[in-house]
A and B are shown apart, each in its own frame.
Chain A
Amino acid sequence: MTATATTAGSSGLAVATRALHKRYGPRVALAGLDLSVPNGVVYGFLGPNGAGKTTTMRLLTGLIHADSGTIELLGRPFGQGDRRRLFEVGALIEAPAFYPFLSGRENLRALAATGAPTPWSCVDELLEVVGLTERARDRVSTYSLGMKQRLGIAAALLSDPKLLLLDEPANGLDPAGIVAMRDTLRNLASAGKTVFVSSHILGEVRQLADIVGIIAQGRLVREGPIEELLTSRGRVRVRVKQDEVGAALARLEGGGFRAVQGSTSDDGWLSVAVEGDRASEINRSLAQAGIYASALTAETDLESVFLELTGATPTGDGQRSFGSAGATTVAGQTSGQDPQ
Chain B
Amino acid sequence: MRLFVAGLRKLVRRPASYVSVGLLAGLLSLILIAVGATAKQTAERPNGAAALLLVTFPQAYTLILSFILGLGGLIAVIYGAAVAGSEWNWGTLKAAVARGESRSRYALLTFASVALLIGVGLVLAFLVGTLMAVVGASLAGISTSGLSNSDALGRLPDQFGRSWIAVVEEGALGFTVATLARSQLAGIGAGIALYFGEQFASIFLPDIVKYLPFNAATAVVENAGTGGGGIIQRLEPGLALWVVLAWLFGSLFVAALFTERADISG
Contacts and interface: CB of A to CB of B under 8 A. Distances in A.
Contact of B13 (A91, A106, A159): A106
Given A87-B100, A99-B10, A106-B9, A63 B265 contact: yes
Given A64-B264, A64-B265, A115 B94 contact: no
B38 interface: no
Contacts of B45: none
B230 interface: no
A140 to B, nearest CB: 10
A255 B126 CA distance: 93
B99 A159 contact: yes
B208 interface: no
What interface size band does chain B fall in? 20 to 34
B9 A61 contact: no
Given A63-B265, A64-B263, A95-B91, A115 B96 contact: yes
A63 B97 contact: yes
B15 interface: yes
Nearest to A58: B265
B264 A85 contact: no
B100 A113 contact: no
Most buried by B among A64, A91, A114: A114
A84 interface: yes
Given A98-B92, A159-B99, A58 B264 contact: yes
B83 to A, nearest CB: 11
A113 B6 contact: yes
A102 interface: yes
A101 B13 contact: yes
B100 A110 contact: no
A116 interface: yes
A116 B96 CA distance: 10
A33 to B, nearest CB: 17
Given A110-B6, A113-B6, A101 B15 contact: yes
B100 A116 contact: yes
Contact of A109 (B6, B95, B97, B265): B6
Interface in B92-145: 92, 94-102, 106
B10 A97 contact: no
B100 A83 contact: yes
A111 B99 contact: yes
Q: Which among A83, A159, A340 has the highest number of chain B CB atoms within 10 Å?
A: A83
B196 interface: no
Interface string B21-62: 000000000000000000000000000000000000000000
A115 B99 contact: yes
B263 A62 contact: no
A61 B98 CA distance: 5
A18 to B, nearest CB: 21
Given A63-B94, A94-B91, A98-B92, A158 B99 contact: yes
Nearest to A54: B265
A155 B95 CA distance: 9
Nearest to A61: B98
Contacts of A109: 6, 9
B204 interface: no
B105 to A, nearest CB: 9
Interface string A142-163: 0000000000000100110000
A110 B10 contact: yes
B96 A99 contact: no
Nearest to A140: B90
A132 interface: no
Interface string B208-228: 000000000000000000000
Q: Of residues A93, A100, A115, A155, which shows the largest number of chain B Cβ atoms within 10 Å of its Cβ?
A: A115
Contacts of B155: none
Contacts of A159: 99
A162 B89 CA distance: 29
Interface string A231-260: 000000000000000000000000000000
Contacts of A85: 100
A65 interface: yes
Interface in A49-65: 58, 61-65
Contacts of B264: 58, 63-64
Report which residue of A64, A99, A155 has the largest number of chain B beta carbons within 10 angstroms of its beta carbon.
Answer: A99
Given A64-B263, A110-B9, A113-B3, A98 B100 contact: no
Contacts of B102: 83
A98 B94 CA distance: 10
Contacts of B97: 61-63, 83
B100 A86 contact: yes
B100 A99 contact: no
Given A86-B100, A89-B100, A115-B99, 14 more contacts: A61-B98, A64-B264, A83-B100, A91-B98, A94-B266, A98-B92, A99-B10, A100-B90, A102-B10, A110-B9, A111-B95, A114-B3, A114-B96, A115-B101
25 contacts: A62-B97, A63-B265, A84-B100, A86-B98, A91-B98, A94-B91, A97-B94, A97-B95, A98-B90, A98-B92, A99-B10, A99-B14, A99-B86, A100-B90, A101-B15, A109-B9, A111-B95, A111-B99, A114-B3, A114-B95, A114-B96, A114-B100, A114-B106, A115-B96, A159-B99
In the A-B complex, the 4 residue pairs with the smallest Cβ-Cβ separation, listed nearest first, are: A97-B91, A115-B99, A86-B100, A113-B6
Interface of B: 2-3, 5-6, 9-10, 13-15, 86, 90-92, 94-102, 106, 263-266
